[in-house]
Amino acid sequence: MEAILTDCVRNSLQQLMHRNAIFMCERLCAEFPSEKNMQLLASCYLQNNQAHCAYHILKGTHMPQCRYLFALSCFQMDLMNEAEAALSPNESSTEVPNGAAGHYLLGLVYRYTDRRQSAINHFNQALSLDPLLWAAYEELCILGAAEEATSVFDEGASLCIQKQYMHRGLASQSLHAPTEEHDIASTRILGTEDVSPRKLKHVHGNNLRDINGTTSNQPMNGGPTSLPFYNTPSPMAAQSQFSGVAPPPVCRNAQQNGPSMRTYGADNSPRVAVNSAVAGPRRKFVDEGKLRKVSERLFSDSGQRRSMRLAGESVSTNSNVSLVSGNGTSHSSKYLGASKSSSVASRSLTIRKGQSWASENADEGIHHDAYDDSRLNITSSSLSPSADNRSLEPEGATRSSSAIVLSSSRVIDGASDILGLLRLFGEGFRLSCLCRCQDALDIYVKLPQKHYSTGWVLSQVGKAYFEMVDYLEADRAFSLARIASPYSLEGMDIYSTVLYHLKEDMKLSYLAQELISTDRLAPQSWCAMGNCYSLQKDHETALKNFQRAVQLNSRFAYAHTLCGHEYVALEDFENGIKSYQSALRIDTRHYNAWYGLGMIYLRQEKFEFSEHHFRMAFLINPLSSVIMSYLGTALHALKRNNEALEMMERAVLADKKNPLPLYQKANILVSVGNLDGALAVLEELKEYAPCESSVYALMGSIYKRQNMYDKAMLHFGLALDLKPSATDVAAIKAAIEKLHVPDEIEDSL
Amino acid sequence: MAESSEGEEEGKLTGGNQQLVVDDDLREMGKKAAWSVSSCKPGNGVASLRDDNLDTYWQSDGAQPHLVNIQFQKKVKLQLVVVYVDFKLDESYTPSKVSIRAGDGFHNLKEIKAVELAKPTGWMYISLSGSDPRETFVNTFMLQIAVLSNHLNGRDTHVRQIKVYGPRPNPIPHQPFQFTSTEFITYSTLR
C-alpha cells in the first residue's frame, strides 16, 4: 500500500496536480509515518507554494533531503537562522545536504544575512559540485567574486572526474594561482585547475581561482603519489574542503609521472598553461572525470544528477579544451590535435581521459586563445605527465563501466558544447557585473545568433549599454528583447529607466501597462509604472508604485533605490537615506544606491560623506562619466580643487558625449579664479550643446566679473532666450540689473 | 479673466477652471507647512482645505475677516496660490474680497496681494509675483489668506481647497543654474 500511495503521489506531482498529491500524501503519512514520507509531503507543499506547511512538518527531521527542504521552506519564509542551521549542522561542507543545491541554498542564506565571504565559498562549492549550476555563478558575479567563466566551466568536468577518480591532484597547477586572496570556496579539484585557468584568464581574485590555485599547489607539493592517491576519496574530500592540498598533489603527481598520453600529457605546456591558469591540466582531469561521471550518471536515475552530469561533461570537455588553448600556443595546438583525434577516435574509457581532454581542450582552445601560454607551458608540462599517468591509472580502476564510457562520448560532446556556451554566457555576465560593459558586449557578440536573439541575452546587452550611458542603443536592444520574449520581465525595470532617461513617455507608459497586464505580482512591472509617473513629475504616486514593488519582493535592490530617488525628489532625505541603505544591504555592489547617497549628502552639504559615497560608486563602476563628474563636484566642494579637476578630465575622456564634466570643470575654474580657462572650456561646450541656457548664463556671469559688460549682456540675453526655469530667469534678470550699465539694459529684459 | 496686478491695486477675478493646471517648474509647498484657521464649524475644519476632496469644505464660524494661516519652518519661495471656490454651490458663502499677506509671523504680516472674486466657479489662480522680474517669488516664513467679504454679504465663508506653489529646486545640487537641454539633463543624473 505504501508503494502504491507513493507512486500515486509522485505521479500527481509530475502532472502538477497538487491538491491530489497533497491529499494522497497526507494519507500516506498518516498510514506510514516516516521521514521519507514526510519529505514527500513537504515537497508536495513546496510545489504548491505552501512553504509554511512544509516548515512545520519538517521541523526536526534529519535526513539530508529533508533538511534541504526544510531549509528551503525557512528561506522562503525568511527565517534565515533556521535555514542556516538546517543546512550546516556539522560545520562541514561535506555534510551539506543535497550537494550542489544545498551549497547554493546555503550561499543564498549567507548572502542575505550579509556574510559575503561564506556565501562566496558556498557558491563556489556548489559550482564545483555541479558546474551547470548557473544560478550559483550568477550569484558570484553579483557579489563581484566570480572567477572567469573559462575556469569555472572547465572545472566542472574535472571535478566530476575527480570525484570519479580521486585524482584531483593532477591539477597541480602552479602554486602561483593564489595571488589573490583565496576564498575557500571551491576547494575542489577545480581549484587547482582553476589556478591555471586563472592564470590563463588573468582574472583577479576569484575565489574559484584562488582555490584552484591553492588546490593545485597542493598537489604539486604532494608529489606524485601513486594510485592510492587517486583512489582515496579523502583527497577529494580534502580538496573540497578548500585545502588546496589535495588537488595540487594530484596534479603534481600527474605531471611528474611523465607525460602520459592522457590529454594532459599531450601537451605539457598546454597542461601547464592550464595550471598556470592552473586550470589547464586540472581541467583535463576534471573533464575526464566529469565525463566519466556524466556517463555514469547517465545511467543512474537521479534526474538532477543527470543534468548536472551532462553539464559536467560538457563543462569538462570544454574546460579541457580551453585549458589546452590556454596553455601555450605550441602545446595547445599540439595537444588539441592529439586530443581531438584521440577523443574522436576512442571513446573508451581508457582513452577517454585523454580524449575528453582533447575535445575539451579543443573547445577550450577555441574559446580561450588568450590564455597565458607561458604559464601553461610550465604547468602543463609538469602536470600533464603526472596527470596522464595518474589519469591512466585511475582510469583503469574506474573503468569498470566501459559501457558507460562509450555512451559518455556523446555526453562528453554535449557537455563540451554546453560548457562552451556557458563559458561565453558566464564571462559576459561576469564582465557586465564588473561594469566592464564594452568587454561584456564583445563577448555577447560572440554567441551564436540563436542564443543572441533570446530575451535574456538582449536584455543583458541592453543593460550593458545602459551602464555605459548609451541610452539609444540600450533602447534598441531592449525593444528587440521585448519582441523576442514579450512575457519575460527580466531586466524590464532597467528598460523603463532607459525610457525615462530618453523622456519617451509614450513608450514608457505603454511598457508599464504591458508589464502590469503580464504579471501584476512582479516588482519590475511596478518599477516601470513608477518610472512612468516619475517622468510626469508625480513623485508621490511614483513612490507608491515603487513601494509596492518593494512589498512584492523585498530583495529586489533596484526597487529600493528607485524609492530612494523619489524620496529625494520629494525632499524627504531621511527616508531617502533609509531606502538607499536598504538597497545596499541587499546588494553592496549596487552603485546607483551609493550614488544616491552621495547626492543626498551633497545636497545636505555633508561633503566628506558625499565624497566617500561617490568614491564607493566609482570603485564599483569606474567607467561611468556621470559618477566621475559628481565625484569631482564633491572634491571641489571639499576644496580639493586639483583632484577635482583631474577627476573631471577623466570624466571628459571617459565619455566624449557627456557635457557635464566640462561644465563642472568650468565651474571649478571659476571658483579658483581662472576665468579665462573657464571661458575657454565654456566656448568648447557651446559648440557641443548650443541650446543649453546655463552655459550662456555662466559665461555671462564670468564676463560680468571681468567687467566686460557688453559680452555679459549678450550672453545673459542668449541664456534668457533659451527659456531657463523660473528661478534662473529671476536670477539672470537680477544679475543683469546689477550690471553697472545704464538703464537701457534693463529694458531689453 | 482679469488678473490683478500689483499688491495694492484691486482686480476682479472671475471664471475658474475645473481642472488644476500648473507649470511644470512649480511644486506644491503646502505639505511642509502648518495650516490653521481663525474659526471653523465642527466637521468643516482646516483638514477639508487640504484633503484633495472638492466636496468637503472649510466653513468659518466667527467674525470677518476669516483667516487661513500657512506657516513654514523656514523661509520658502512662493509663487502662486490656487483656491477652489464655487459660487453655484456656495452662493453667499463664496469669498469675494481676498487679501494675501506675508511675513515672518503674526506680528509683521504685510499685504502682498488683494483680489476680488466675481462669481467664481472653480480653481482661481492668484499669482504672488510682482511686475519686476526680481519679484517673481515671495520669500517668506508665513502666508495668510484673509477672506474679507463674501458674495451677497454672507457672514461665513466656504473654501473647498487651497494649494500653494513655489519653484522647484535645482535637481542637481551645487549648480548655479538649472539645465535646460536634453543632453545636459540626460547626463546629469543616474537612476
Give the tens place of pLDDT for each residue, A413-435.
677 777 788 888 888 899 988 88
Residue A650 Ramachandran class (φ > 0 left, ψ -120 to 50 alpha, else beta):
alpha
User: Is-cis flag, bond preceding B65, omega within 30?
Assistant: yes
> Once rounded to an integer, what is the mean pLDDT over residues A102-131?
85
- Asked whether the beta carbons of residue B176 and residue A697 sit closer than 8 angstroms, the reply is yes
Of A301 and A559, the structure prediction assigns the larger pLDDT to A559
Provide, as residue numbers in chain A, all residues whose Cβ is less than 8 Å from the Cβ of B29: none
* Amino acid, single-letter form, for residue A313: E
Q: What is the pLDDT of residues A462-482, one digit of tens each?
A: 999 998 888 899 999 999 999
Q: What is the pLDDT of residue A417?
A: 78
Chain A, 506 to 545: residues with Cβ < 8 Å from chain B are: 537
Closest Cβ opposite residue A501 in set B79, B168, B191: B191
pLDDT of A518 above 60: yes
By percentage, how much of chain A surpasses pLDDT 90? 21
**Confidence class of residue B56 from pLDDT cuts 50, 70 and 90?**
very high
Rounded Cα gap, residues A379 and B85, in angstroms: 87
Rounded Cα gap, residues B67 and B120, in angstroms: 19
**Confidence class of residue A494 from pLDDT cuts 50, 70 and 90?**
very high
Rounded Cα gap, residues A361 and A323, in angstroms: 6
Of A586 and A392, the structure prediction assigns the larger pLDDT to A586
Rounded Cα gap, residues B164 and A26, in angstroms: 64
The position carrying cell 514527500 is A40
Nearest CA-CA distance, residue A564 and chain B, Å:
10
Q: What is the pLDDT of residues A22-46, one digit of tens each?
A: 899 888 888 888 888 888 888 888 8
What count of CB pairs under 8 Å joins A to B? Answer: 110
The position carrying cell 590529454 is A263
Chain A, 683 to 722: residues with Cβ < 8 Å from chain B are: 688-689, 691-694, 697-698, 701, 719, 722
| Phi, psi angle pair for A480, to nearest 5° | -65, -40
A137's CB contacts (< 8 A; 6+ apart) are: A123, A127, A146, A149, A152, A426, A429, A430
- Asked whether the beta carbons of residue A692 and residue B179 sit closer than 8 angstroms, the reply is yes
Q: What is the pLDDT of residue A366?
A: 37
Out of A348-352, A593-597, A641-645, A723-727, the most confident range is A593-597
Dihedral sign from CA coordinates of A302, A308, A311, A312 = negative
Express the helix, strand and coil content of chain B in percent, nearest 5 each: 15, 45, 40
User: Do residues B120 and B13 make contact, with C-beta atoms less than 8 angstroms apart?
Assistant: yes
**Confidence class of residue A230 from pLDDT cuts 50, 70 and 90?**
very low
Q: What is the pLDDT of residue A99?
A: 76
* Of A280, A388, A383, residue with least CA distance to A326: A280
Of A570 and A183, the structure prediction assigns the larger pLDDT to A570
Q: What is the pLDDT of residue A122?
A: 86
pLDDT of B62 above 50: yes
Of A209 and B121, the structure prediction assigns the larger pLDDT to B121
**Confidence class of residue A143 from pLDDT cuts 50, 70 and 90?**
confident
What is the reported pTM?
A: 0.68
pLDDT of B73 above 50: yes
pLDDT of A59 above 50: yes
DSSP classification of residue B63: S
* Of A731, A401, A244, A474, residue with least CA distance to B136: A731
pLDDT of A550 above 90: yes
**Confidence class of residue A83 from pLDDT cuts 50, 70 and 90?**
confident
CB contact A730 to B (< 8 Å): yes
**Confidence class of residue A226 from pLDDT cuts 50, 70 and 90?**
very low
> Once rounded to an integer, what is the mean pLDDT over residues A301-328?
39
- Asked whether the beta carbons of residue A625 and residue B79 sit closer than 8 angstroms, the reply is no
Distance of CA A537 to the CA centre of its chain: 34
* Amino acid, single-letter form, for residue A530: G
Q: What is the pLDDT of residues A565-607, one digit of tens each?
A: 999 988 889 999 999 999 999 888 999 999 999 999 998 889 9
Q: How many CA atoms lie within 13 A of A258 on its CB side?
A: 1
Q: What is the pLDDT of residue A567?
A: 94
**Confidence class of residue B135 from pLDDT cuts 50, 70 and 90?**
confident
Rounded Cα gap, residues A524 and A533, in angstroms: 14
**Confidence class of residue B160 from pLDDT cuts 50, 70 and 90?**
very high
Q: What is the pLDDT of residue A470?
A: 86
B32's CB contacts (< 8 A; 6+ apart) are: B72, B73, B76
Rounded Cα gap, residues A346 and A133, in angstroms: 29
Query: Which spans in A277-372 are helix H?
Result: 279-299, 303-326, 329-345, 349-367
Q: What is the pLDDT of residue B47?
A: 92
Provide, as residue numbers in chain B, all residues whose Cβ is less than 8 Å from the Cβ of A726: 23, 25-26, 79, 136-137, 167
Question: B164 - beta bridge partners?
Answer: B81
Question: A403 - beta bridge partners?
Answer: none
Q: What is the pLDDT of residue A409?
A: 64
The position carrying cell 517669488 is B137
Q: What is the pLDDT of residue A411?
A: 66
Q: What is the pLDDT of residue B18?
A: 85
Average pLDDT taken over every residue of chain A: 71
CA dist list (Å): A321 to A339, A353, A393, A520, A703 = 9, 12, 22, 45, 67
pLDDT of A456 above 50: yes
> Once rounded to an integer, what is the mean pLDDT over residues A62-66?
79
Q: What is the pLDDT of residue A97?
A: 67
Q: How many CA atoms lie within 13 A of A105 on its CB side?
A: 28
Of A41 and A128, the structure prediction assigns the larger pLDDT to A41
CB contact B187 to A (< 8 Å): yes
Rounded Cα gap, residues A509 and A256, in angstroms: 66
Q: What is the pLDDT of residues A646-656, one digit of tens each?
A: 999 999 888 88
Q: What is the pLDDT of residue A219?
A: 37
Q: What is the pLDDT of residue A599?
A: 93
Provide, as residue numbers in chain B, all residues whose Cβ is less than 8 Å from the Cβ of A727: 25, 77, 137, 167, 170, 178
Average pLDDT taken over every residue of chain B: 86
> Once rounded to an integer, what is the mean pLDDT over residues B148-156?
92
DSSP classification of residue B44: B
User: Do residues A712 and A737 make contact, with C-beta atoms less than 8 angstroms apart?
Assistant: no
Q: Which residue does chain A place closest to B135, by CA atoms?
A: A730
CB contact B173 to A (< 8 Å): yes
Q: What is the pLDDT of residue A154?
A: 73
Residue A302 Ramachandran class (φ > 0 left, ψ -120 to 50 alpha, else beta):
beta
CA dist list (Å): A60 to A35, A71, A105, A138, A140 = 10, 11, 19, 32, 31
The position carrying cell 544545498 is A102
- Asked whether the beta carbons of residue B179 and residue A469 sit closer than 8 angstroms, the reply is no
Closest Cβ opposite residue B134 in set A565, A629, A733: A733
| Phi, psi angle pair for B146, to nearest 5° | -110, 125
What dihedral angle (degrees, nearest 10) is formed by the CA atoms of A254, A259, A265, A267? 120
pLDDT of A171 above 60: no
Q: What is the pLDDT of residue A264?
A: 37
Query: What's the N-to-C CA distance of chain A in angstroms?
Result: 96
CB contact B179 to A (< 8 Å): yes
User: Do residues B78 and B89 make contact, with C-beta atoms less than 8 angstroms apart?
Assistant: no
